[in-house]
A and B are shown apart, each in its own frame.
Chain A
Amino acid sequence: MHHNKHLFWSWLAQPRHGWELLAFIAGAVVLGMAVLAFLTTVPQRYRKFLVAGITFLAGLYLSLEFFIPPDPSTQENFLTKGLPTLSSIEMVVGSFALLLGVWNLVHMHGKIVLKLGKGWYNSAAFFISLISIMILGFLRDARVFGTAEMFNVLFSGFMLSLQATTFSLIAFYIVSAAYRAFRIRSAEAALMMIAATIVMLALVPVGAIITSWIPETGFWSAFRIERIGYWILTSPNMSVQRAIAFGIAVGALATGLRIWLSLERGSFFDRQL
């Protein structure tokens, strides 16, 4: 019986090609739709138990997999083998959600284009980009002549360049943000200004020149600007960063526990659950 079960799973996991692949995709979509249809028919009063049960089981599996010490030779415990399946399930659910996301974009921009509303040309640009990169992507995968280069123009030429342009804007925003942050309006702001100035000077050669007359060894060496800058970064700054990290870690644990055990109240889904 166990052997047959094993055979079934290995048959299911085999790579497919051509019509067999299409049949498997169609089967998976139909099965997915059926599961979704079943879930929507679950009566309201049972949904709480269904959601809480699935959340608890998934959380239990992942935490046990994490905490049970692995076999030192393989670095795996008996639960590790199931991780790829769980990640595939997450990917499938994510794909369905992606369809909903794209539908949201199409719906919103479609309305604007159809009504020729304000900025309709931006919405039209969205449709042109979406459709052209999708078609070229499929054609490139089918190895149609010339489409790989065209896809590359869209991806590397347009998208990556636009991303790099947006990223480079940060340089300008840093100046305006720094100007606002360094205006001395309180004792705390003054302290931050002094600390930032020392750290910045400590990182550039001109900073080292300012205090180069102080001996490099002995008691007074601690007052060289590069030493003060290093001390600020590694002592007060590091300890505060670690304190924040401790707080964040414990906060994440508490939030995770509340969600895992369905103890979260007053935030979301109270009406539905």
Chain B
Amino acid sequence: MGESTQFANPAVYVIEGLLVFFILYKIFSARRGRSLFVRRIPGLSSLDEAVGRATEMGRPMLFAPGIGGLSIVGLQALAILSHVIRRAAKYGTRVIVPTADPLLYTIAEEVAKDAYAAEGVPEQFIADDVRYLSDSQFAWASGVVGILHREKVATALYFGYFAAESLILSENGQMVGAIQIAGTPMTTQIPFFLASCDYTIIGDEYYAASAYLSKEPTLLGSLVGQDYGKLTMVAIIVFGLICMTLQANFPHLPGISSLQTWFLKFFPTG
């Protein structure tokens, strides 16, 4: 439900519009063939190493898409899953996908089928490898831990929405000696993953993962558009900072009070 207090502020519409414009503009310009640079993300660069290790050891990989449902976070996890399966399919390595949400499970199954087919090995798809375990947080976590130990997983990937179970999963991954890569937009869980995983993807790198792995122009364009959006926000922050600092230190500077009032009208504090 929209809230009048929040959306009576025109700045919200303007900034939202600007962000959408940057993202769409960069997507379409990338589609026209402009080459775009993306910096190296160690956690994603090591994906081939992780797949290779599982292949060498002859053990399966595990991809846990978290306890979230069908949301942007969940869909992004499935996009990453698709790329992981494509890479694993090249070497005939199994990828086990335990899910906690029935909607996500059905889509994950289709994504896995599609990824194997895209690599030309549809026969590698094993229906039982994409599993629905439980929608209960700790029942799901216990199920994933069981799979980690029983299957002696060589590589564990955690991408999606995670809560308190993050440490249970990653510490058990450590126990079985799995190489672990994690990525989540949940800032509260990032420290746990940092402490117990080999590589952790932080913040918006999570949303950059599919672009980084596929090098698809549409996704790369979107990534550059996001950076322009962030630059806009930084510019607003710096402008506000200058306004506030000048007002606090030089209150008699002509126009500074009205500039500060104007800024606070659109970007109120607290």
Interface residues of A (CB under 8 A from B): 65-72, 75-77, 80, 83, 93-94, 97-102, 104-105, 107-108, 119, 159, 162-163, 166-167, 169-170, 173-174, 176-178, 180-181, 241, 243-248, 250-259, 261, 263-272
Contacts and interface: CB of A to CB of B under 8 A. Distances in A.
B106 interface: yes
A119 B13 CA distance: 57
Contacts of A180: 174, 195-196
Contacts of B219: 258, 264-267
Contact of A83 (B1, B24, B105, B165): B1
Given A108-B128, A254-B23, A255-B72, A269 B110 contact: yes
B202 A170 contact: no
Contacts of B82: 267-268
A265 B105 CA distance: 21
Interface stretch (B39-47, B57-65, B137-145): B137-145
Given A244-B203, A248-B203, A259-B72, A254 B226 contact: yes
A270 B174 CA distance: 35
A71 B114 CA distance: 46
A254 B222 contact: yes
A139 B186 CA distance: 40
B159 interface: no
Contact of A167 (B138, B202, B223, B233): B138
Contacts of A265: 214, 216-219
B249 interface: no
B75 A259 contact: yes
A77 to B, nearest CB: 6
When A and B form their complex, which 3 residue pairs have the shortest distance between CB atoms, in order from nearest? A251-B207, A247-B204, A101-B132
A252 B79 CA distance: 13
A256 B72 contact: yes
Contacts of B75: 255, 259
B132 A70 contact: no
B207 A255 contact: yes
Contacts of A170: 164, 167-168
B185 A248 contact: yes
Contacts of B141: 166
Interface stretch (B2-10, B252-260, B261-269): B2-10
Given A250-B226, A257-B20, A268-B78, A162 B103 contact: no
A108 B131 contact: yes
B138 A166 contact: yes
A244 B230 CA distance: 11
A254 B13 CA distance: 16
Given A247-B230, A258-B218, A267-B214, A70 B3 contact: yes
Contact of A173 (B136, B167, B206): B167
Contacts of A167: 138, 164
A69 B114 contact: no
Nearest to B193: A177
Interface in B5-23: 7-8, 13, 16, 19-20, 23
B102 to A, nearest CB: 4
B168 A181 contact: no
Contacts of B8: 69
Contacts of A105: 131-133
B102 A97 contact: yes
A3 to B, nearest CB: 28
B93 interface: no
B204 A80 contact: no
Contacts of A99: 102
Contacts of A264: 79, 218-219
B111 interface: yes
B207 A241 contact: no
Nearest to A68: B2
Given A247-B203, A266-B210, A266-B219, 17 more contacts: A68-B2, A93-B103, A94-B103, A101-B132, A162-B142, A166-B138, A174-B167, A177-B170, A181-B195, A244-B203, A245-B203, A248-B203, A252-B185, A254-B23, A265-B216, A267-B82, A267-B214
Nearest to B223: A254
B142 A248 contact: no
